[in-house]
């Protein structure tokens, strides 16, 4: 019997992991440069959390969650997290963090799960990296999150990207816009797709980001013309900060984002290097979420990006794996224990090394040493074992010399022959 990974999941095998490491390291160092601190919420939460935060009418909550547990249970069922914002905000509120200081800037990187139809760039288990800046309504923070993501793309070597931004207004002005939009959509509703028809009643804004009906809905009134003066001023300030930072962007009235909790600024980074699933990162402001989740009434802004998609758009290969410092070789079987001891002691001294675990001939061991790219082979034969010494072979120069363990360690550390 043979096993396959579940549909929509993927393994990251050793030849691919250096690219992942490169992206993760680049992201971490950008987050830290911008003053963000790491948070690691659990992989699953009570299902109710996602209903309350992501929204009842959103695709990910309605159709895409992996839910388990006993529905009769008083605490309710659990769901694998389809995104990390709800867990992050819950953790912040539950931990009473906002009582300790006004603004928290948090970052995360980890798996998320959605029961979607798998295709290129769309998985059922994927990796999200993102930030939540909680406690400020300052438009500069909106801009900061976008500048931060553009820095991650730069550090990761992604060149072909586009940033589109929009404002969907606040709780005060959104009601008015909803009516304007409904009145404009009503006459054409019969010609729209089934999805749009359900969205009309439940979340009319989402008609704007329907790809199937994009042509028909192109001339609908844009949100930005119907937002209040405060929202307009906010958007202007975000744009000014982006221009100052020389981050290119385009205002796109079609960006509304799929989740319920957004207010004012919404944005999306996409890449022409990807296929149909071209979104690298989505973000925006959510000024009501923290309060809705039992916290204080504070503004917040954040983004979530898909690591797999960034990797698809990343140019070039990551640097090859760093070669080992040494490879231990036993000339004969009785010296294997001594070689193992030396290998362990050198590793404990901070050097990287390996040895043969297949009981192979000295010739075959030397071939492995070569293949490993190690700078030195550390050989022990009967003579060396008797004298408590070892032989160090420089794999590039082909020279060898007998040395004590301490001498070998110093040579290996200094990298000098």
- Any alpha helices (H) in 75-224, and if so which ranges? 85-94, 139-156, 171-185, 194-202
Contact segment (CB under 6 A) with ligand AMP among 154-162, 247-255, 304-312, 381-389 equals: 304-312
Bridge partners, 44 (sequence order): 80
For residue 326, the surrounding DSSP H or E stretch is strand 326-330
Q: Residue 205: which of 236, 167, 159 has the closest Cα?
A: 167
113 binds ligand AMP, rule: CB under 6 A: no
Q: How far is the CB of 271 from ligand AMP (least distance, A)?
A: 9
Contact segment (CB under 6 A) with ligand AMP among 13-21, 121-129, 179-187, 323-331 equals: 121-129
58 binds ligand AMP, rule: CB under 6 A: no
Chosen residue from 239, 260, 287, 308 binding ligand AMP by CB under 6 A: 308
Query: Which residue minimizes CB distance to ligand AMP?
Result: 306
Q: Are 135 and 106 in contact (CB under 8 A)?
A: no
Q: What is the Cα–Cα distance from 124 to 115, expressed in whole angstroms?
A: 5
Q: What are phi and psi of 44, to 5 degrees?
A: -125, 155
DSSP 220: S
Using the minimum distance from each CB to ligand AMP, give the nearer residue, 135 or 282: 282
355 binds ligand AMP, rule: CB under 6 A: no
Q: Are 11 and 123 in contact (CB under 8 A)?
A: no
Using the minimum distance from each CB to ligand AMP, give the nearer residue, 221 or 258: 258
Rg (CA), the chain: 28
116 binds ligand AMP, rule: CB under 6 A: yes
Using the minimum distance from each CB to ligand AMP, give the nearer residue, 76 or 157: 157
Chosen residue from 204, 256, 304, 411 binding ligand AMP by CB under 6 A: 304
278 binds ligand AMP, rule: CB under 6 A: no
Using the minimum distance from each CB to ligand AMP, give the nearer residue, 116 or 354: 116
Chosen residue from 30, 41, 52, 83 binding ligand AMP by CB under 6 A: 83
Neighbours of 97 (CB within 10 A): 16
Of residues 15-34, which lie at the interface with ligand AMP (CB under 6 A)? none
Q: Sheet containing 400-403: which strands, arranged edge to edge?
A: 353-355, 326-330, 376-380, 390-394, 400-403
205 binds ligand AMP, rule: CB under 6 A: no
Q: What is the Cα–Cα distance from 119 to 117, expressed in whole angstroms?
A: 7
The residues of the shown chain that bind ligand AMP, judged by CB under 6 A, are 83, 114, 116, 121-123, 126, 128, 258, 279-282, 304-306, 308-309
């Amino acid at each position: 019997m043979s096993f396959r990974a579940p549909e929509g999941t993927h393994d990251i095998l050793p030849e691919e992991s250096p690219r992942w490491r490169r992206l993760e390291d680049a992201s971490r160092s950008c987050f830290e440069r911008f003053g963000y601190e790491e948070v690691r919420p659990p992989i699953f939460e009570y299902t109710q959390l996602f209903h309350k935060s992501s929204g009842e009418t959103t695709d990910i909550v309605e159709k895409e969650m992996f839910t388990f547990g006993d529905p009769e249970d008083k605490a309710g069922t659990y769901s694998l997290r389809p995104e990390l914002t709800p867990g992050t905000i819950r953790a912040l509120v539950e931990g009473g963090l906002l009582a300790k200081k006004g603004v928290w800037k948090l970052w995360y990187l980890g798996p998320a799960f959605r029961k979607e139809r798998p295709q290129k760039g769309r998985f059922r288990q994927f990796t999200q990296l993102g930030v939540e800046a909680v406690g400020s309504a300052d438009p500069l923070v909106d801009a900061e999150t976008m500048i931060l993501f553009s820095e991650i793309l730069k550090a990761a070597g992604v060149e072909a990207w586009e940033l589109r931004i929009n404002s969907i207004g606040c709780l005060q002005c959104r009601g008015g816009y909803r009516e304007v939009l409904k009145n404009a959509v009503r006459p054409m509703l019969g010609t729209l797709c089934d999805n749009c028809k359900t969205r009309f009643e439940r979340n009319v804004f989402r008609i704007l980001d329907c790809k199937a009906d994009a042509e028909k809905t192109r001339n609908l009134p844009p949100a930005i013309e119907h937002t209040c003066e405060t929202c307009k001023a906010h958007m202007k300030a975000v744009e000014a900060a982006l221009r100052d930072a020389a981050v290119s962007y385009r205002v796109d009235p079609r960006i509304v984002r799929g989740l319920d909790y957004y207010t004012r600024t919404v944005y999306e980074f996409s890449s022409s290097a990807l296929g149909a699933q071209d979104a690298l990162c989505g973000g925006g402001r959510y000024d009501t979420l923290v309060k809705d989740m039992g916290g204080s009434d504070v503004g917040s802004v954040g983004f979530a990006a898909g690591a797999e998609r960034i990797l698809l758009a990343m140019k070039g290969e990551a640097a090859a794996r760093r070669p080992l410092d040494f490879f231990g070789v036993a000339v004969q079987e009785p010296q294997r224990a001594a070689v193992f001891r030396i290998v362990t002691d050198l590793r404990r001294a901070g050097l990287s090394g390996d040895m043969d675990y297949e009981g192979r001939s000295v010739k075959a061991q030397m071939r492995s040493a070569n293949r490993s790219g190690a700078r030195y082979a550390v050989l022990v034969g009967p003579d060396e074992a008797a004298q408590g010494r070892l032989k160090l072979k420089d794999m590039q120069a082909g020279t060898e010399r007998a040395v004590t363990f301490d001498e070998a360690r110093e040579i290996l550390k200094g990298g000098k022959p």
